[in-house]
Structure 1
Amino acid sequence: MIKEPYKDYTPQTTRLHPTLQFLILVSGTFAMIFIGFAIAAGIIVVVYDAKTLTDVLGFNTGNKHALAGLWILQIVSTTIPLFVAPVLFARFVANETQAYLKPTFKFSLVYLVLVFAIILFCSPLMELLTNINQKLTLPASLKGLEDAMRAMEQSAQKATEAMLKMNTVGDMLFAVLVVGLLTGIAEEFLFRGVIQTIFTRWTKNTHAAVWITAILFSAFHMEFFTFLPRVLLGVFFGYFVAWSGSIWPAVWGHFLNNASAVVITYLYQQKHSSLNPDNQHVFNYWIDSLSLIIVLFLLYIYKNITQQKKQMVEY
């Protein structure tokens, strides 16, 4: 039982309008990413050489230092900035750290069990949306844009494939730590923490805030052909936070999604499993339908439990 309620920080103490808050956050985040990129590039050049930096940016894995360089680039120019930006914003701009980041651990462990089940049973839905997404094409007049998006996605896939070439259990655990845990914390603090709070106050509608944040979350990854499944994940994470009042159920869900992808990839690479992580034709429509029913039921239970906990605290 929760001994103390998570306070609903609806009253806004900062005088900045949510529109201005959002602009400041976006500007600050991209500034952090730019600074992080410059630092990462400097580290790669100093530790290795300029050619390694060029190979890293070109995803040339023939360079023996390219993999280490890619991880440096990922951690220093992306993971750390995405964590630091929302923390600084919540503390010094909004001056409402608890309200924006929602770092409270005062929630039932049942939430984590339900999140685990939802992430597990939503796999068929994710596959279905991925297949639908792959068939989407833009009008002929926007073919140039579609080609550019495909090129960006291919570049992102090259980087991911290079970073997830794991030869040892140590490699896998490192990837789980960075891609699963650290990325999960950073992205959830930014999106479900600060951005979702801004849009909740901006629209005065929790559902609108959850969906807008999920769309921005998916767009941020610049992978158009996996846009829809990532929106669905973002919606799940958004409701995990909105209903529980804590960021950690969403971080847990984010970790499970990313870490499982890393582990499945490792097992497939080492031939310990025949499940190809790139195979998007594992399930059928009957399983998809069952997945939808189960996930909706689990979300219903999650919401009801959170509401019951709040009522128990109030009384």
Structure 2
Amino acid sequence: MKGFVSNRLHPLVTLILLLVSLLAAFCVAGFFISMLGNLFFGVGLQEIGNVTQHPTQHPQGWALSMLSQGVLLFVGFAGGALALVKFTGYRAADYFAPRRPVPGLWLLMAALLIIASLPLMTTLIAWNAQLHLPDALRGVEEWAREKEDQAQALTKALTDFNSPLRFWVGVLVIAVVPAISEELVFRGVVQRNLVQGFTSRHVGVWVAAFIFSAIHVQFFGFVPRFVLGLLLGYLYEWSGNILVPMAAHFTQNFTQLLLLYWQQRQWVSPELDPDANEAMPWPWVLSSLLVTAGLLYWLHEHLTDDTETGPTQLRTLGGKGVAASLPEAPLPPAAARTLGRDGVDVGRYRD
């Protein structure tokens, strides 16, 4: 199908178009939020912002806030990314998952990677939480901490799961929707175009991870989220299918929510507080490091099998510039080539 704009655009132009698409999608999301808020909760457009910023002060605050967040992420992020792909004439499956099908074992191992890395990540969380800026930037640090305290208070109100129904709504809005929406944007579009623009998978993955962490505007949680972005980025680059980082992203969010729910129900030890900024005991961290390294090695070996291709390593192309078949003698990784948006070989791909 021919798109509204050329699919031969420079990656930078594509990223600019992504911003335009996201802005338009956010406007559509805002319309739906105002319409649904008034329909289900009797809250007008001018009141929605106040209610969602202070959900504990309004009877319908929690429900409206969850609705707003879910619609904003799904329509704004996922809708924006999918609209961009549609405009350029691609099929979503070909753009986000040129390598299909995905073995279920890949999804399981990606989920296990995230679970295994949690104790190790606590060391980064603890270190980042205690980070201090130079004295010359003390005002910036105080502003950042104030904003994060406000965000933490809002998050605590939204994750007050006083019933199983609230928990499962939280799973949908905080685990499922972000895993789909954020991966479509940050890995599916941003990382893809950065890798093509820099002609280097590593530069593309690292820059995309930086943007992914920075967009959350949480300075004292930047490093662990950046590392998570790296894990998700390499899972996508290795696998060539967006479902793999989606499974890992969902596991990260769901595990945190599950631990929080269990703690609220007093079913687990207080030491397993997902909101804590303290590192776990070193035996747990060391074990986590070893298992995480082993899982990364396994995933790299299996996901980058030379008989398959990743999202930026397409070689034999169909009419729309997507992988239609594999060459009889695959090129070794060092000799892989990168392709333009229309499927034209544009140069050697730097590993």
TM-score class, shorter: 0.7 to 0.9
Q: Shift in Å at residue 303 of structure 1?
A: 1.1
Q: Does 1:280 align with 2:273?
A: no
Q: Give structure 2 stretches of 5+ with no counterpart.
A: 1-5, 310-325, 329-351
Q: Give structure 1 stretches of 5+ with no counterpart.
A: 1-12
**Given the alignment, which residue of 22, 27, 33 partners 2:20?**
27
1:300 aligned residue: 297
Q: Does 1:49 align with 2:46?
A: no
TM-score by length of 1: 0.87
**In the aligned structure 2, how far is the partner of 1:212 from the partner of 1:79?**
24
C-alpha distance 54-241 of structure 1, shift in aligned 2 (>3 A): closer
C-alpha distance 43-98 of structure 1, shift in aligned 2 (>3 A): closer
Alignment of 1:1-315 (within 5 A): 14-45=7-38, 47-50=41-44, 53-93=48-88, 95=90, 97-102=92-97, 105-274=100-269, 275-281=272-278, 283-308=280-305, 310=307
**In the aligned structure 1, how far is the partner of 2:96 from the partner of 2:205?**
15
Secondary structure of the equivalent of 2:57?
coil
Which is further off, 88-97 or 252-261? Answer: 88-97
Q: Shift in Å at residue 184 of structure 1?
A: 0.4
**In the aligned structure 2, how far is the partner of 1:20 from the partner of 1:296?**
37
Question: Deviation per CA, 1:68-125, whole angstroms, max 9, x where unpaired?
Answer: 1111220222332111011111121364644532276512222122212211110122
Q: Shift in Å at residue 138 of structure 1?
A: 1.9
Which is further off, 166-175 or 99-108? Answer: 99-108
**In the aligned structure 1, how far is the partner of 2:105 from the partner of 2:245?**
13
Contact 2:125 2:279 in 1 (8 A): no
C-alpha distance 88-281 of structure 1, shift in aligned 2 (>3 A): same
Contact 2:99 2:239 in 1 (8 A): no
Question: Deviation per CA, 1:111-154, whole angstroms, max 9, x where unpaired?
Answer: 12221221111012211111111121222222332233223222
Contact 2:55 2:62 in 1 (8 A): no
Secondary structure of the equivalent of 1:215?
helix
TM-score by length of 2: 0.79
**In the aligned structure 2, how far is the partner of 1:140 from the partner of 1:81?**
38
Amino acid at match of 1:118: L
Q: Shift in Å at residue 243 of structure 1?
A: 0.7
Contact 2:51 2:57 in 1 (8 A): no
Contact 2:21 2:83 in 1 (8 A): no
Which is further off, 39-48 or 237-246? Answer: 39-48
Amino acid at match of 1:306: L
Secondary structure of the equivalent of 1:308?
coil
Contact 2:28 2:75 in 1 (8 A): no
Larger radius of gyration: 2
Contact 1:237 1:253 in 2 (8 A): yes
Q: Shift in Å at residue 66 of structure 1?
A: 0.6
Which is further off, 171-180 or 34-43? Answer: 34-43
User: How many residue pairs get matched?
Assistant: 303
Secondary structure of the equivalent of 1:280?
coil
Report which of the two has the higher share of helix.
1
